[in-house]
Amino acid sequence: MAAPTVTASLDASTYSPGDPITLTVGYADPDTRPVTLTIVLTDSQGNSSAPVRVTAVIDPLTVGVADDSGRAWTKVSDTGTTAVYRVVA
């Protein structure tokens, strides 16, 4: 299994008290693969159901955010490769 990669960037370096701080996390793993399963049920008479598609991710990554000032970051979006977190300064 390959090692994941991650980047973290803030929208500024200095904030005033009360300012929103936005953290953008970029992450990836060569092993992470989206797959789509298409399922069709067929009975003994040969009747088939309509196909159903489900998606899954092989070896998904979990993302953790820790702040040594004790601020609790909130995730506001996540595309699977880019996650955005926010907190108030």
Partner 1 sequence: MPRVTVTVRDFGGHTASATADYTVAPPVRGGYYLAGNADPTADLVGGNFRSLTQYRSLADGYVFPGYGMTWLRDLGRAGVALNVVLELKHYGTGNPGAQTFTVDGVTWTVPAPAMTIQQRPGTTWPRAYGYGQVLAGQCDGLLARALSQYRTMGVPVNLQLASELDTDHEFGTTESGVSYTWAESDARAVQALTYVVTWLRARGLPAGTTFSVGAGGFDRAGFRRTHPEALMSLLDFLQWNVYATDPTHTALGRFRRARDWAVADLGPVALSRPVIVAEWGVQVAAFPDQAAWIATVPPALARLNAERGPRIVRTNYFNSGWGTLSPKEAGVAALRAAYATRPFG
The residues that touch partner 1, with contacts defined as CB under 8 A, are 1-10, 12-19, 21, 23, 25, 27, 29, 31-32, 59-69, 71, 73, 89
Beta bridge partners of 20: 88
- The least distance separating partner 1 from the CB of residue 30, rounded to whole angstroms, comes to 10
CB atoms < 10 A from the CB of 85, how many? 21
Q: Which is nearer to partner 1, 42 or 69 (CB)?
A: 69
Instruction: Say which amino acid occupies 87.
Output: V
- The least distance separating partner 1 from the CB of residue 77, rounded to whole angstroms, comes to 15
Beta bridge partners of 21: 87
Q: Which is nearer to partner 1, 1 or 40 (CB)?
A: 1
Triad 12, 13, 16: Cα angle to 5°: 85
Q: Which is nearer to partner 1, 55 or 69 (CB)?
A: 69
- Which residue is associated with the tokens 């789509």? 36
